[in-house]
Chains A and B, each alone.
Chain A
Amino acid sequence: MRPRLVIAALGGLGLLPAIWKIALAMPAFGEPTGAYGPVVNRLGPPLRHVSNMVGAVNFDFRGLDTLGEELMLVAAVTGTVLLLRGIRGEDLSARPATAGLPVVKRAESTILVSRLLGPLVLLFGFYMAMHGMTTPGGGFQGGVALASGLLLLYVGDGYRAWRTLMRSPLLAAVEGGGALLFALAGFLPMVDGKAYMENVLPLGNIRDVFSGGLMLVENGGVALAVAGGFAMLFLEFLEETRAIDGEDRG
């Protein structure tokens, strides 16, 4: 037995009484302990006219937290893009390469499945992003689904087809525009002297697609930012697989 395994076993043995004690002191499985959830479930529908309480918490009750998360995502994507593009050089990234590195030849079944699933995933992404206030899901999940649907184009039809559709400036505009829309939507109530992000738009009817007022705008902003951000991330990573015309990378 290797020394580190011995040490790990001894450590585990030493911790066992503590783990046992904590396990016994834990609340029963599935027993709700927090007061926040029941309160939101009780007050959410009458106050905000939406049926997805997770969406109401994300975009209304704790909307400012989501704005912070959104900016974190934008910062993370920007950092990744800067790193990858910085190594490659801006000129090289602007135009599509003639070909990607030949990784593996695609099977016909792969192409078929990707072409069938791609539009469906895109449609589902739109659906999920639009119905963020009524059913589970929302801007983030819908946005990732949208980006994944676009990615199926690469899986099915390869680098060139993918690059014909993916334009880096457009993706950057969608990503940044979405985050900006979210941040600016918060200022709208301030025009009227209300607090930042206070829900001043008409709330609509519960279980209606267009219910939630300002939440709808913020949800749309998140959908754009996430779809653009993830597509940008995929694009920059896939750019790494491109073959550079006529020259060896070394």
Chain B
Amino acid sequence: MSGVLLGVLFVLAAVAGTAVVLTRDPRRQVFAMAANGLVLTLLFFVLQAPDVALSELAVGTAATPLLFLVTLAILRVSGSRK
């Protein structure tokens, strides 16, 4: 059972990681990155590393994407003003 779960999560991690690289629009890329973080969180959890999973969840899916989003919002606004 856990083997199947692990296999699915490994495939998902590969797909999500590739999606981050192949996404060209920065705003979509931020969400692709957050999704990748979520998949990694589940993977770490299934691999019995809940401490790492929690760190990944907080930093990878909440903090980092948000900082990117704010940066993009600023760039968009100052870009449209010029």
Contacts and interface: CB of A to CB of B under 8 A. Distances in A.
A230 B63 contact: yes
B78 A137 contact: no
Contacts of A137: 50-51, 54
Given A136-B50, A137-B51, A138-B51, A145 B58 contact: yes
B14 interface: no
Given A136-B51, A137-B51, A237-B71, A144 B58 contact: yes
Contacts of A240: 70-71, 74
Contact of A248 (B53, B59, B81): B81
A233 B66 CA distance: 11
Contact of B54 (A141, A147, A151): A141
Interface string A83-123: 00000000000000000010100000000000000000000
B81 A249 contact: yes
A145 B62 CA distance: 9
Nearest to B59: A144
14 contacts: A54-B51, A101-B73, A136-B53, A138-B51, A141-B51, A141-B54, A141-B55, A144-B59, A147-B63, A148-B62, A148-B63, A233-B63, A233-B67, A237-B67
A103 B73 contact: yes
Contact of B70 (A136, A145, A238): A238
B76 to A, nearest CB: 8
Given A137-B54, A141-B51, A234 B66 contact: yes
Interface size class of A (residues with CB under 8 A): 20 to 34
Nearest to A103: B73
Contacts of A54: 51
Nearest to A136: B50
Interface in B40-80: 47, 50-51, 53-55, 58-59, 62-63, 66-67, 70-71, 73-74, 77-78
Interface in A158-174: none
* A-B interface, 8 closest residue pairs, ranked by CB to CB distance from nearest: A136-B50, A144-B58, A141-B54, A54-B51, A148-B62, A237-B70, A136-B51, A240-B74
Given A54-B51, A241-B73, A151 B78 contact: no
Contacts of B59: 144
Contacts of B47: 30
A128 interface: yes
A140 interface: yes
Contacts of A230: 63
A129 to B, nearest CB: 11
Given A144-B55, A147-B63, 18 more contacts: A101-B73, A101-B77, A103-B77, A128-B54, A136-B54, A137-B54, A141-B58, A144-B62, A148-B62, A151-B62, A151-B66, A233-B67, A237-B70, A237-B71, A240-B74, A241-B74, A249-B78, A250-B81
B22 to A, nearest CB: 14
A76 to B, nearest CB: 12
